[in-house]
Amino acid sequence: MTKAQKTQIIKRKFLMHYGDAKTELQYSNLYELLVAVMLSAQCTDKRVNLITPALFEAFPSIHLLAQANLSDVKALIKSCSFFNNKATHLIAMAQKVVQEFQGIIPSTQQELKSLPGVGQKTANVVLIEYFGANFMAVDTHVFRVSHRLGLTQAKTAQKTEEELVKLFQDNLHALHQGFVLFGRYICKAVTPNCKDCFVSDLCKTKKNFKPQ
């Protein structure tokens, strides 16, 4: 079996199982999604979902977040990893949106990446989830799954993203969501649930890959 053939089988199976998958982050608009994704960096979605209700109650709009006191934001997100930096980035992000984008969160990758605290992965996740954009975002789950399946040997998340985009080409938003959920609940880092795996025949290794 060629790599191209294997890729198409993996693609078809993931779209069959996760074609309608969505993020587990809880949000009601683009502002809340962006904030939640920023908080989710190196933090679980479950933890973020515990934090955001009080945060959004205190700052229900981008304009109010832009005017927030740093210590108030820190207090609301203190159970989140790297909360000091994230609080600073959240306020700076909101201020830039208000000052340079008339209070409207941008909807392109480059404009999102221009915001403080928003890298390519965060921008892509927002675009994938909210707009169904044809992007791939590589978190620890996507990195591990793609390496275990032998789709890439790239050492970094960025290079892995590039290779997956080249391999899959389309339906990237669904494949990203599928890889995340598959990695979170089946192809887990330490104890993968191989008995429930629908691509076990294509698995190369159970090694716990992590980006450098």
Region 123-131: mean pLDDT is: 97
Q: Is the domain 3-21+136-202 a CATH 3.40.50.300 member?
A: no
* Active site annotation includes 121: yes
pLDDT of residue 212: 83
Amino acid 201 reads D
**Alpha-carbon torsion angle 41, 42, 48, 52, nearest 10:** -40
- Neighbouring CB atoms inside 10 A of 162's CB total 15
Boundaries of CATH 1.10.340.30 in the chain? 30-131
Residue ranges of alpha helices (H) inside the chain are 3-18, 30-39, 45-58, 62-66, 70-77, 83-100, 109-113, 120-131, 140-148, 157-168, 172-185
Q: Which of 139, 159, 204, 206 is catalytic?
A: 139
Q: Which CATH code fits 30-131? A: 1.10.340.30
Q: Among 25, 42, 7, which residue's Cα sits nearest to residue 177?
A: 25
The predicted-structure confidence for 11-64, as pLDDT tens digits, reads as follows 999 999 998 999 999 999 999 999 999 999 999 999 999 999 999 999 999 999
For the chain, what is the radius of gyration of the CA atoms?
A: 18
The predicted-structure confidence for 188-209, as pLDDT tens digits, reads as follows 999 999 999 999 999 999 999 9
Q: Which of 78, 121, 166, 195 is catalytic?
A: 121
Boundaries of CATH 1.10.1670.10 in the chain? 3-21+136-202
